[in-house]
Amino acid sequence: MIKNIYATGILQYIPFLYVIWSDDLLTVSEVEVVTKAIEQDDELTKKDKIVLMDWLNQKKPPTNSELKLWKQFISSSKIKLIESETYPLTSFCQKLVASPTSKSTLNESLKHIEINLGIQPNHYNHLFDVEVVHEKTSHYYDSKEIDAILKGKHHKEIDAFRKCLSDSIFKWDIQRDKKKFREKVLNQVKFLAEKGYGAMAYPKEYGGTGNMDVYASIFENLIYVDGSLTVKFGVQFGLFGGSVQKLGTKKHHDKYLSDTGKATLLGCFAMTETGHGSNVKGIKTTATYNKKTDTITIHTPGKNDNKEYIGNALHSTMATVFAQLIVDGKNEGVHAILVPIRDENHQLMKGVTIEDNGYKLGLNGVDNGKIWFNQVQVPRAHLLNKYGDIKNDGSYHSEIKNPNKRFFTMLGTLVGGRICVAKGAISGSKMSLAIAIKHALKRRQFNDSVKIQEDLLMDYPSHQLRLTPAIASSYVYHVTMDHIMKLYGDETITDKRKIETQAAGLKAVITNFANETIQECREACGGKGYLIENRIANLKGDVDIFTTFEGDNTVLLQLAAKGILSEFKSEFNSAGFLSVLRVLGTQLSDKIDTFNPMYTHKVDKEHLYNPNFHRHAFSYRTRRLTYTLAMRIRAYIKKGVPAYQAFLKVQTHLLALGKAYSIELAHETFINFTETISDEKHKLLFQKLGTLYALHEIRNDAQWYLEQGYIGGTKSKAIRQRVERLCTELRPHIEVLVDGFGIPEHCLTAPIAN
């Protein structure tokens, strides 16, 4: 018997040696990993180490009889191999040689081999004639504790809201008739209003709590019920109500805000026009003040100047209309005016024409429509006049004299909607990931033997690689947008321009990520993911529009980049902009790091997992892109190219900068957050998620880093391997991680997830 031949220290290495020799693919890197483990194992004697090292000699592999002896030793043990353990093979090895006096702690050297070789149960359980306990997940972490970390100080409010969503009115089912679907969603919105959730962000005197953070959390949790409900809720209480709250004054608040929060006044937000999608400053609708009648006339001058894609258009009785305000023959720029569009019998007001946008790719429970105004008159008091007013004598007045600054200040007050859209998109990715992961932890497919149970989808490295980095990103973006919303809601921060820049870039990056993730999840579920009953198809259709509403992503990334370039100044005339570029160019040329050449080739785990390396990589990319972009624009302007044309010539560069800046911001925000986690066990988990996010993003932009000489080919390959390794390490905890999203069980109704 082999037990009588070798010492305990040697015996516990035999399963590992059998695994790596049985596939005839023992590589130099495998030898190095195992050699290092043996050398550092203090429990082994010098003689034991000599025996084990001899078995690693590639020129003298174990004989077939030795391999059979090893397998016989493993199989005769009657020890169960438990897949769900954090280090299943290490644990199995130690159970083989366990005695009543054995230490309970796992052998660190064996763990080193299991981690660094990326060995998983599906790689070896078919090699051993032992009972394999196919538990799909580890219980080392508690999903409720993870969810509590994400919820933070608002856990009571969020838990109460999630419980509210268990009401039968929110039961999800397949909808084919958009009229019935819209009525269902409207009733859901009214139900939430009755519970006080619509007015959550409004001041206490108007039925709210003044808590924008909780409102945003409500918004993101609504995705778990239905995307149409989320958007309808956001339009009614966030866009329409938010415009009254943020752009109006006390007279508007007193008259409209309470009724809006109760949903007894239904409103819509009429900004976008058919002919001017993203260019709000250039909209054509006019609002002309008539001094004699003391009224404002709203008018659509041309066929394609109508308001387009207006949510709540068919149910609303009032609209916040954005138009060019003309006072005494002078265009004072874009302002918002409250315009009644239906009477008490829900009939259209004179001069108002509304058409249904019809069926869409998704969100068919939202009543989007087109609106035309034909000389519609409203009282002067309907002008939302916080930033620009028409005085009693008929003259225009604003505390903000610069019309450009006034325009951006008005739009800046509504950036909360942009933040909510990003948070909703994250929830869409979370929901899809939860469904795809739970499916992959049940669905089995393929094996090399008809006698053995097929492998779980989640045990395939390729499946892990397509889903696990997205889980890490969802955690990073959740924490980031919570932080941005907190800053936005902080009344002590009077200058919101930096937050606007951050929100613009992050909204673009996150909504793009969400759509890519949902598509990946759809494919990861195969044909089941294509069925509407399994929810991913609806999420795909509903979240798709998030990339273009509340700001088209391409435009928003440029906006973020311009904010960085101009130090968040909003004017870009040639003379003023040149001075900004000179200062910026000087600062950046001084600050760009001449990175140490060792960075280019350093591949050890300690370096690649170090957050300081990730910070440096992201910071270098942002600074480098900023500097080269500034220099390119300055070169064009020196040649006499107008500033606007210069920006067109560097548009792709702007997009790269906007994305780089946003990813750096998200990573930095998440790393700072992990330092606030008091429980060491969960802090390490979150740090590992941050590491996976960072390395995955660096890997995604490896082309740029290679072009810049920041990393070499060897380091690029090492980063790819580490991404795969981290996915393997997180595999035992994968279900706990998606449960940690906190999706209410009554909302996770997809058959393949249950």
Quick: pLDDT tens for 139-182.
889 999 999 999 999 999 999 999 999 999 999 999 999 999 99
Encoded tokens for 50: 């000599």
The predicted-structure confidence for 676-706, as pLDDT tens digits, reads as follows 999 999 999 999 999 999 999 999 999 999 9
The rounded distance, in Å, linking the Cα atoms of 114 and 12 is 13
In the predicted structure, residue 331 carries a pLDDT above the cut 90: yes
448-494 pLDDT tens trace: 655 456 778 998 889 999 999 999 999 999 999 999 999 998 888 87
Q: What would you measure as the largest C-alpha separation in the chain, in angstroms?
A: 109
Tell me which of 19-33, 303-317, 321-335 is least confident. 19-33
Could you tell me whether strands 330-340 and 376-379 are parallel, antiparallel, or unpaired per DSSP bridges?
unpaired
User: Taking residues 613-624, what's their average pLDDT?
Assistant: 93
Say if residues 624 and 642 touch (Cβ distance below 8 Å).
no
- Model confidence at 84, pLDDT cuts 50, 70, 90, reads low
Q: At residue 424, does pLDDT exceed 70?
A: yes
pLDDT at 572 over 60: no
pLDDT of residue 125: 60
Encoded tokens for 630: 């500034």
Say whether pLDDT at 129 is over 50. Answer: yes
Tell me the three state secondary structure of residue 46.
Answer: helix
The CA distance from 88 to 729, in Å, is 11
pLDDT score for 516: 98
Instruction: Output the average pLDDT for the chain.
Output: 90
Query: What is the tens place of the pLDDT at every residue in 48-79?
Result: 999 999 988 888 888 888 888 888 888 888 88
Alpha-helical segments (H) within 525-650: 536-544, 553-565, 574-591, 597-601, 605-608, 611-638, 643-649
Please report the pLDDT score of residue 240 as a whole number: 97
Please report which confidence band the pLDDT of residue 581 belongs to, taking 50, 70 and 90 as the band edges. Answer: low
- What is the reported pLDDT for 717? 93
What is the CB-side half-sphere exposure of residue 51 using CA atoms within 13 A? 15
Name the phi and psi angles at 401, rounded to 5.
-70, -35
Whether the CB-CB separation of 748 and 434 falls below 8 Å is answered with: yes
Cβ contacts of 314 within 8 Å, gap of 6 or more: 182, 354, 356, 367, 369
Residue 262 is which amino acid? K
| Res. 409 pLDDT band, cuts 50 70 90 | confident
CA distances from 177 to 182, 185, 230, 235, 532 (A): 9, 12, 19, 22, 15
Residues forming the active site: 550
Q: Which residues contact 629 (CB under 8 A, 6 or more apart)?
A: 561, 565, 650, 653, 654, 657
In this predicted structure, what is the pLDDT of residue 568? 30
Domains of the chain: 2-133 (no CATH), 145-262 (1.10.540.10), 267-413 (2.40.110.10), 416-449+461-734 (1.20.140.10)
**pLDDT (mean) for 251-267:** 98
Res 571: pLDDT: 37
- pLDDT attached to residue 276: 84
> Residue 402: how many CA atoms within 13 Å on its side-chain side?
7
Query: For the segment 494-503, what is each residue's pLDDT rounded down to a tens digit?
Result: 778 889 999 9
Closest CA to 11 of 56, 69, 61: 69
Write the single-letter amino acid at 506.
Answer: L
Among 380, 147, 381, which Cα is nearest to 252's?
A: 381
Q: DSSP string of 482-512?
A: HHHHHHHT-TT----HHHHHHHHHHHHHHHH
- pLDDT class for 574, splitting at 50, 70, 90? very low
Determine whether 493 is exposed, middle or buried from the number of CB atoms within 10 Å of its CB (0-12, 13-18, 19+): exposed
* Cα–Cα distance measured from residue 336 to residue 269, given in angstroms and rounded to the nearest whole number: 10
**Do 341 and 349 contact (CB within 8 A), yes or no?**
yes
Looking at residue 585, its pLDDT comes to 60
pLDDT in tens, 425-434: 999 999 999 9
The winner for highest mean pLDDT among 9-18, 125-134, 477-486 is 477-486
Both structure tokens of 533? 């009953």
Q: Express each pLDDT in 205-257 by its tens digit.
A: 999 999 999 999 999 999 999 999 999 999 999 999 999 999 999 999 999 99
Give the tens place of pLDDT for each residue, 549-559.
888 999 999 99
